[in-house]
Amino acid sequence: MPVTPPSLFPPIQPIRHGMLAVDEMHTIYWEEVGNPDGIPVLFLHGGPGAGLSPQHRRFFDPRAYRVILFDQRGAGKSTPLGEWRNNTTQLLIEDIERLRALFGIQQWLVFGGSWGSTLALAYGQAHPERCLGFVLRGIFLCTRAEVDWFINEVRWFYPELYEEFVAPIPPDERHDLLGAYARRLLCHDPDVYWPAARAWSRFEGRRVFLLPQPEEVANDTLDLGVGRLESHYMLNGAFLDEDQLMRDLARIAHLPAVIVQGRYDVICPPLSAWRLHTAWPGSKLEMIADAGHGALEAGIARALVAATEQFKRLGRFE
């Protein structure tokens, strides 16, 4: 595990948590952290499929914020784990609205990184009247170019990881690695999907941080959620039109936003953050010179906490 940055707030336990059935197939886990009378904030995890970590609660001053976190469909403690059926961006947005109603919140700050930034933008554009502003990290707009980078073009930086990722796929399927992995990950044979899930998770996980990190203990929950749901959403373009999040940016462009981006992010390269920032007049871009993709890299964590502290003090972003 990476070292926890000192800029984070101390560890904290939820004041309450529970499960919410959102349809006949899916039940999602949620938790509430901090001050019940504080500024409401919605935390959206990455992946899709990565789920929550106790560290995610620590970007917010618990005296000032009421933080709602949840495991998205198929992720973490939500059930069934890794389930891709009845799992679309539009359904995740409906789940967020169910949670907002459950907690009686009128408006909230929306905080999300990586895939969480994708979902934050999609949610905001669907329900701009419910958003106070945005704190976004490692921007992913789920365009075809970004998906191609994630799967194929990253070999320019990590050829050894790419070769390891390609190796289990027969040569006649390698022209479409995403399709080849999706067929394996989304099948019902555990002897097929488990090796594919672990290979996919290794391929991504080993390039999250700018500097090498100690090898993490195997995590089947993370591997299955990430492998299945990332391939499912990438294969379907996140159930959005191509570049829809940029096309519809005007719906939230009046709201404040802080965008935190690692200069050497090879999961979600900086061009997407730059595109978003230059098209969003009220946004502030923090380009972290010595960071990759990880939210817990020191510079990124420091910038994310600074953004939530600024919103706390001013009620808005400068």
Q: At what angle do helices 190-205 and 220-235 cross, to 10 degrees?
A: 90
Look up residue 165 and give its amino acid: F
Q: Which of 71, 95, 223, 265 is catalytic?
A: 265
Cα 27–Cα 29–Cα 34 angle in degrees, nearest 5: 155
Rounded Cα distance between 225 and 87, Å, is: 12
Active site residue 293: yes
Distant-in-sequence, close-in-space partners of 278: CB < 8 Å, separation ≥ 6: none
Rounded Cα distance between 138 and 286, Å, is: 11
For the beta sheet containing 65-70, the strands, ordered from the edge strand earlier in sequence to the opposite edge, are 16-21, 27-34, 65-70, 39-44, 108-113, 131-137, 257-262, 283-288
Rounded Cα distance between 303 and 287, Å, is: 9
Rounded Cα distance between 227 and 232, Å, is: 8
Q: Which of 56, 71, 114, 277 is catalytic?
A: 114
285 contacts 136 by C-beta, under 8 angstroms: no
Active site residue 17: no
Q: Which residues are catalytic?
A: 114, 265, 293
